[in-house]
Amino acid sequence: MKIWLMIGMALIVILIWWYEWSRLGREKKKEKAAVAVLLCLTMLLGVILIINPELPGPTQAVNWLFRPLGKMLEK
């Protein structure tokens, strides 16, 4: 079951990559690198969360990181 989720996610990532890559021109190498890096990181995070769904997601990590700052600003 998990393998089908990973295959489906890979297909969606490939479609997003193809769409974005075709819209960027030949001169925009930095933008292409940024798209590739973000898609790879997203794919990696997705696979990790499919394999181990009990792990906290990125929203919980951001909340954990910035909660002390929010408490300091409330005072």
pLDDT at 24: 85
Where do we find the tokens 């490939």? Answer: 14
Structure tokens at 22: 């075709």
Q: Which two tokens stand for residue 20?
A: 């974005």
Each residue of 2-17: pLDDT tens digit?
899 999 999 999 999 9
Residue spans of the domains in the chain: they are 2-74
For residue 40, what pLDDT is reported?
Answer: 94
Determine which of 20-24, 45-49, 56-60 has the lowest per-residue pLDDT on average.
56-60
Is the per-residue pLDDT at 75 higher than 80?
no
- Quote the pTM value: 0.68
